[in-house]
Amino acid sequence: MTAVPMTATPPKPKQGFKLTPAALIWPAMLYLILTTQVPFFMTVYYSFFRWNLQAPTPVHPFVGFENYVGLLTDPQNLHIILNTLQLTAGTLIITLVLGASLALLLNRPFAGRALLRTILISSFLVMPVVTAVIWKNMLLNPIFGFFSWFVQLFGGTPIDYLSAHPMGTIIAMVTWEWTPFAMLILLTGLQSLPDDQIEAARLDGANTWQEFRYVVLPHWTQALEVVILLETINVLQVYGEIFASTSGGPGIATTNLPFSVYQRLLQEGNVGVGSAAGVITVVLTNVLAIFMLRLINRNTQVGGH
């Protein structure tokens, strides 16, 4: 994915007391193994047991794939998986379109360009929980919210967006946070395009569209790839926005996988099912990431570097 230059020289640690390079790497590796790999394998292990912390008996029998079968056949749970995909896909598409547009707009020379870019990244830096409470109350409240007033100004009737269009509202909030991310990465990608490539295209008589399609776009692919991958992985894990605005509701309309794991574990004490839902999230994240990486790689060939 990245090309970091490697300095290839044989290690020559001698002198004084012998500190091998491996000894410098192991603490970090060990820490990561203990806090990510080991717990993940434990999650996989737990997912095969019927185990509820609130159950009176401390027995947890091995039940094989029961938790998975339950999760994947119950229409409620399928709904949760679909919610997760809807939230991720919706946010990804909108932020890509908005972020790319903003990046192209900010790539033109005009007064205040750097200032606008600086201001634009703000919403990405806002804590997700803050986003949720501010949007939910001060913007979207059907009576006192700013949006409601704004809608009325143009003769519309304000509605309770969070109950009428819960998923749309969550997507709007997450989009607000992630558009600056897409813009920032895509703008940096645009700006690293060498001048002479554009000039060569112009000399060859390329029009604006051809210039964009055959010069800008191929160069842009890496930045697009980064945006798509990182956003997918991060938006699949959206939690704070949902926790502090809808708590997954109404019903399960905005419950995604991370939020349902939280519910299973902390509200129901269901270790087995919570673990299985966690494993499904990890698998889904990896499958989507690999799938997207492949897709992008294949499309990159067309442009050709």
Partner 1 sequence: MTTLPQSGTQVPANNTPKKPPVNVLGGLLTALTYLLTFLFFFPILWMVMAAFKTEAQAFQTPPVFVFTPILDNFRVAFERYFPALLNSLGAAFGSTILAFILGLPAAFALAFYTTPRSRSVLTWMLSTKFMPAVGVIVPLYLLFTNLHLLDTLPGLILMYTTMNLPLVVWMMHSYMTEIPYAIFEAARVDGASVWREFFGMALPLSLPGISATALLAVIFAWNEAFFALNLTTSDAAPLSVFIGSFKTGEGLFWAQMSAAAVLTVFPVIVFGWIAQRQLVRGLSFGAVK
**Contacts (CB under 8 A) with partner 1, residues 16-55:** 16-17, 19, 21-22, 24-25, 27-29, 31-32, 35-40, 42-43, 46
In this structure, are residues 178 and 124 in contact, taking their beta carbons and an 8 Å threshold?
yes
Nearer to partner 1, 8 or 59 (CB): 8
> Is the distance from CB of 166 to CB of 159 less than 8 angstroms?
no
To partner 1, the closest distance from the beta carbon of 159 in angstroms equals 15
Which listed residue (58, 64, 75, 125) binds partner 1 by CB under 8 A?
Answer: 125
Q: Is the dihedral of CA 14, 15, 19, 24 positive or negative?
A: negative
Q: Is 155 left (phi over 0), alpha (psi -120 to 50) or beta?
A: left
Residue type (1 letter), 5: P
251, 162 Cβ separation under 8 angstroms: no
State the DSSP string of 113-181.
Answer: HHHHHHHHTHHHHS-HHHHHHIIIIIIT-TTT-HHHHHHHHTT-----HHHHSHHHHHHHHHHHHHHHH
DSSP 8-state assignment for residue 79: H
Which of positions 181-220 make contact with partner 1 (CB under 8 A)? 181, 184-185, 188-195, 198, 211, 216
Distance CA 79, CA 67 (A): 16
46 within 8 A of 272, measured Cβ to Cβ? yes
Site for partner 1 in 52-91 (CB under 8 A): none
Q: Closest CB to partner 1 among 25 and 69?
A: 25
Which of residues 108, 157, 298, 304 is near partner 1 by CB under 8 A?
Answer: 108
CB of residue 204 to partner 1, shortest distance in Å:
16
Q: Tell the smallest beta-carbon distance from residue 90 to partner 1 (Å).
A: 18
Contact letters (x/-) for partner 1, 137-156, by CB under 8 A?
xxx-x-xx-x-xx-------
Rounded to the nearest whole angstrom, what is the least distance from the CB of residue 2 to partner 1 in the complex?
Answer: 5
Q: In this chain, which of 167, 217, 252, 282 binds partner 1, going by CB under 8 A?
A: 282
Nearer Cβ to partner 1 (3/302): 3
Smallest separation, CB 120 to partner 1 (Å): 5
Which of 50, 85, 86, 124 contacts partner 1 by CB under 8 A?
Answer: 124
Interface residue with partner 1, options 49, 80, 236, 248 (CB under 8 A): 236
Which residues, in sequence order, are CB contacts of 68 under 8 Å at separation 6+?
A: 47, 276, 279, 280
Report how far residue 246's alpha carbon sits from residue 263's, in angstroms, rounded to the nearest whole number.
Answer: 13
5 or 155: whose CB is closer to partner 1?
5
